[in-house]
Structure 1
Amino acid sequence: MYIGTTLTNYIIEAQRTIEGATGEFTGLLNDIAVACKKISDLVNKGDLVGILGTAGSENVQGEQQKKLDVISNEIFIEALAHNGHVAALASEEMDEIYHLPADYVRGKYLVLFDPLDGSSNIDVDVSVGTIFSILKAPPGVENPGTEDFLKPGVTQIAAGYCLYGPSTMMVLTTGSGVNMFTLDRDFGEFLLTHENVTIPEDTQEFAVNASNMRFWEPPVKRYIDECLAGKDGVRGKDFNMRWIASMVAEVHRILVRGGIFMYPSDSKLKAKGQDGKLRLMYEANPMSFIVEQANGMATNGRERIMTLTPQDIHQRVAVVLGSKNEVERLTSYHQA
């Protein structure tokens, strides 16, 4: 019986093309896959195992944590910290960098992760996901600090996400295109199901939280007004609007059929001293890497996200990503 290409086999084959490869990167991706399988199992069981609802705590951003936020974070730490593949970890759910215990073997990589993106959806059974970004650890540094994580997105060596929906899918880029792997629950492995994913350059679908319309900057309002005008407006075509409030689900839809996703800066966010809503290190950078590798585009409305120099591990940023021609249009409106 034909098994197909597993995630492990795919990474091993890719690693063979890299001179001096040691297998450590393959091991790290296997660790991430194990964590995602466990989170997927819990998401699917939901209230059967008592993991829905709030945890009664807040994360560093002052947001109410769901029980599964806390559990997913613990799962990621357990899966990644013990096997000698990482030097330190950073999570959206933790105030500070996670330093490995003194007796743990250090590895070559730094991993940043959002353990459960879109967790506000978990109690209503809507798709959620995990996002991760991988950087090289500084050589010879026993305990990497915050400054070692604060690198532009272009320095990422890999990024991906795991979508927990009707099926569980791992989407991965190592800088040579984007591939999708679907979890076969009976077999217990992620199997390659979509190779070299490409985002269409044109689209008639946009995703934005329209409840923030009154706070938008003029370029964003102009763009959305043009979309809403449809065939009777300057665009000469009708658009559809989507909004799931889960970045993983929004980006996955764009990878499959195109579209543009926006969480722009606005006056409400600026009044709080924030440039945007989404986190640069845990959400915007890894998703931008994936989208660019799939022939899409990602900006903060004015410049390429992956060239931004992070100032803080929990820095927020405006995000506009997806089909290239639409992202270019909205970005040009900000630059006019």
Structure 2
Amino acid sequence: MQSDGMQPHRIVVLALDGVYPFELGIPNRVFGTADGRYEVITCSLDGRPVRSNSDFDIAVAHDARALETADTVVIPPCDVVPILEHGLPQAVSSALASIRPGVRIVSICTGAIVVAAAGLLDDRPATTHWNFADRFQRTFPRIAVDPNVLYVDDGDILTSAGATAGVDLCLHLIRRDHGSEVANMVARRCVVPPWREGGQAQFIEQPVPPPSAAGTAAARQWALENLHRPLTMADLADRARMSGRTFARRFRDEVGMSPGRWLIRQRVFRARELLETTELSVDRIAGEVGFATGASLRQHLHEAIGVAPLAYRRTFRSGSPVTAADR
């Protein structure tokens, strides 16, 4: 549990008619595992049981007045076809209007359609489940819809793709709030991958190679254990005992991106961990994660999250937000 005496960050999850039970449970499961750093409560519009998209109803303990007390509001997916066809019901609009200015709003899967119908995503980037992306864009043309990512972080409004991308987004928020060490701890307890970059493809055409084919998992694990080395795609292909062309194709099939892009992301992720948990210099960290120079680390970190290494370290040591001067 928390020992700093601070009030936990309150997350209110709004269950609407036709809610998807799995996604509804994600915030409580993930944030609720962070040793008391978050308080997660669930509400419906009127505090009564809400119909799920399965063969059961879900009872909740709160009505929409709970939204007025939230630090973060989460909108899980629900039956959005009526919203796409007829707009947002007045009761839902009124509930969302009660959210205090500056409160973080998070959607999982088609929950983004609820947020969009309330006018909160106009002129912003967003994502949703790939199967709804085209209709989402047609219905809300002012939104910059990206159907090819797991989640989009636009500061105070964050949207994610389907199902497990909601887990990724919740872990991303814990990492943003408390750093990689806490997020990794939560991931271990939930037995889920600790980190999938938001820009990773949400839909991979061939996620599993044929049973007779060799995979790239062992080469990826070896790369993670040797990030300090100047690894190349040829090194990884040799480790997998494949030609460069075969390895690159199979890697993209399994991971959804090129080996080079994946390797840079792993180096940046490891650098972020070291910035948060050690006093090593930027140049030393660059060497530990396989970037040739501190300047190279600064460039890649800025491209990934928009801040300089020392500003990133200061944020997680002091709890102070990154300012424009840090970028």
What is the TM-score with the length of structure 1 in the denominator?
0.28
Higher strand share: 1
- Structure of greater Rg: 2
Higher helix share: 2
